[in-house]
Structure 1
Amino acid sequence: MVLCITSLVSNKMKTFTNVDQYIQEFEKETQERLIAIRKLIQETAPEAIESISYGMPAYKVNGKPLVYFGGYKSHIGFYATPTGHSAFEKELSKYKQGKGSVQFPLDEPLPVKLIKEIVLFRLAENQAKSGKK
């Protein structure tokens, strides 16, 4: 069974069946950043299951959401649920945020170390909730 998700990209409704297809919809600079985040998540949480959810790349561990990310015209949205953001409130304070989201501007370096720390935090949370190590 193939799950198709619809997302708003470039003001057009698009349906994606996988993360590669999602990433290909963006400009080269944005693609590079999306690929970098994807690789970082895969290396940090190799057991994470990749999918498309809410119209963007999503990762789950032990059946629980880990993180999501998405490309936009001027930023990369990163979603580590509210707990991932509240735990790194100080570090994320320089970025525009919403509840459970943060925006990494395309005209600034991607905070790779911070993203990795957040993924590790969320991974530990998911493992603790499921009783796994």
Structure 2
Amino acid sequence: MREAIRRAAPEAEEVISYRMPAFRQHGVLVYFAAWQTHIGLYPPITGDKGVEKATARYAGPKGNLQFPLAEPMPIALIERIVKLRVKQDTEKAEAKRKKKPQTTRKPKGSK
């Protein structure tokens, strides 16, 4: 899981958030955790109908993804999900940067 995320988001930093391993760029891209019968991937994936359709069979009760331990890990799908999250995270950071008001400072000593 970590290797797939790292390949899809090489600039991301590994962190612990909400007591789970996570990868962060401008904001958190994904969290993941191992459970008794599955590996969970958070947050729910939205914004791309193709990815949503591909992940539908793994959707848990709250929309988070649950990859059963009894099945092979869908590495290509995980990389696709992370690439989507990187794109969304970058767009959100750019929008926030553009929205930030430009302040003009007066030179020191002027009135």
Q: TM-score, normalised by structure 2?
A: 0.75
Write 1 or 2 for the structure with the bigger share of strand: 1
| Structure 2 match to 1:130 | 93
Render the CA deviation track for 1:34-92: whole Å, top value 9, x for unaligned.
Answer: xxx10111121111111111111111111x1100110011110011x23x256332112
| Structure 1 match to 2:15 | 51
**C-alpha contact 1:48 1:61 (8 A) present in aligned 2:** yes
| Structure 2 counterpart of 1:99, from 50, 62, 72 | 62
1:97 match: secondary structure: coil
**C-alpha contact 1:85 1:101 (8 A) present in aligned 2:** no
- Shift in Å at residue 96 of structure 1? 4.2
- d(CA) in 1 for partners of 2:52 and 2:60? 10
| Structure 2 counterpart of 1:71, from 29, 34, 38 | 34
| Structure 2 match to 1:113 | 76
Percent of residue pairs identical = 43
Structure 2 regions of 5+ residues with no counterpart?
96-111
**C-alpha contact 2:7 2:79 (8 A) present in aligned 1:** no
1:131 match: secondary structure: helix
Q: Are residues 42 and 124 of structure 1, via their aligned partners in 2, closer, same or farther at CA, if it must alter by over 3 Å?
A: same
Letter in 2 for 1:42: R
Between the two structures, name the one with larger relative contact order (CA 8 Å, sep ≥ 6).
2
Q: Are residues 47 and 86 of structure 1, via their aligned partners in 2, closer, same or farther at CA, if it must alter by over 3 Å?
A: same
Q: Are residues 55 and 100 of structure 1, via their aligned partners in 2, closer, same or farther at CA, if it must alter by over 3 Å?
A: farther
- Shift in Å at residue 99 of structure 1? 2.7
- Between the two proteins, the alignment pairs up a number of residues equal to 93
Q: Are residues 65 and 104 of structure 1, via their aligned partners in 2, closer, same or farther at CA, if it must alter by over 3 Å?
A: same
2:24 match: secondary structure: strand
Structure 1 regions of 5+ residues with no counterpart?
1-36
Letter in 2 for 1:43: R
